[in-house]
Amino acid sequence: MFEQIITIVTIAVVLDLIIGDLERITHPVVIIGNFIDWGENRLRQVVDTSLGERIAGLFLAITTIGLTWFMTYLLVMTTVKLNSTFGLIIKILLLSTTLSINGLAQAAKGIHQPLLNGDFTQACRRLNWIVGRDTEDLSESEIVRATVETVAENTVDGILSPLFYVFLGGVPLAMAYKAVNTLDSMLGYKNECYHFFGWASARIDDVANIIPARISGLLFPIAAFLLGKNGFQSFKMVLRDARKHPSPNGGYSEAAMAGALGVRLGGLNYYQGEPSFREYLGDETRKLKASDIKTAIYLMYLTTGLFLISEILFVINI
């Protein structure tokens, strides 16, 4: 069984690196997102109090996660019974949809190239695709900061966590985690609309990422050392600054990234014109520059590889 998990994970990672996400209506995340949207619209019609919104949001979160796990389990078991090879292929394809290695790298590269060409308008436009903050008229250093922070944070959400849960509970659990992450991305906003309705989704996502985020705080510094960056400073920033982040998990990868690059992340962002200050992570030994995006991508790749190797060695030895 363990040998099959290693095979599934390895091929799924390679598949994601080569192909990336396929933007189709049948993509599992699209289906999950459509269900969340449908459920939210229906539930909001029957609740009109803060307590009602909390209960409705919790119900939607549990239902979405449970159905995702069950439907994935049913699909996997059915295909395996029909044909073991076909079942293996389905497992690999499903797992690959939970990973965002290629997508994250391509998104960051899509911002890096316009910056090299001096096209800040195009860089801001592409940045807007991957962040929730306002992106108009940002300086080069602010564009780079937003991109680097996104690469760091999504290394956990889009790569390490799915890999963690597939080893813990197979493809169904990895897909259930993807439902958790999708719920948070759609409902977990700290604004008037979702303060109560999205509370459960945000908290479940926080709990789900506790272990992977902290593992990233160990692996990013090692990756930094292997890339010739300041691994010691990276780990130092994790210990010093990780808990300053408003998210209980986001600070570990971002602080590690800041230390590895020798820059300062965090600061003032705007959301729909409203200012929001995040505590600084790292020391500002220099200004952020476009090349930091490529370094962040390399750190993401290497951290992913270290995580995968660590899990394979752990599985082999238990």
Would you list the domain boundaries of the chain?
Answer: 2-317
Closest CA to 158 of 174, 171, 135, 134: 174
Closest CA to 177 of 205, 215, 202, 150: 205
Q: What percent of the chain has pLDDT over 70?
A: 97
At CB < 8 A and 24+ separation, what contacts does 240-243 make?
Answer: 241/279, 241/280, 241/281, 241/282, 242/217, 242/281
The DSSP call for residue 276 is E
pLDDT (average), residues 141-156: 96
The DSSP call for residue 242 is G
| Residue linked to tokens 């190797």 | 309
Element (H, E) at 269: strand 265-271
- For 119, phi and psi rounded to 5 degrees? -95, 80
Residue 42 CA to chain centroid, in angstroms? 28
Tens digit of each residue's pLDDT (9 = 90 or more) over 164-220: 999 999 999 999 999 999 999 999 887 788 999 999 999 999 999 999 999 999 999
> What pLDDT, on a 0 to 100 scale, did the predictor assign at position 259?
97
Amino acid at site 168:
L
Q: What is the end-to-end Cα distance of the chain in Å, rounded? A: 12
Mean pLDDT, all residues of the chain: 93
Q: What's the pLDDT band for 12 if we cut at 50, 70, 90?
A: very high
Report the distance separating Cα 75 and Cα 250, nearest Å: 33
Report the distance separating Cα 152 and Cα 131, nearest Å: 13
**Per-residue pLDDT for 25 more than 80?**
no
Q: Is 313 exposed, middle or buried (0-12, 13-18, 19+ CB in 10 A)?
A: exposed
Report the distance separating Cα 144 and Cα 290, nearest Å: 6
> What pLDDT, on a 0 to 100 scale, did the predictor assign at position 137?
82
Q: What's the pLDDT band for 84 if we cut at 50, 70, 90?
A: very high
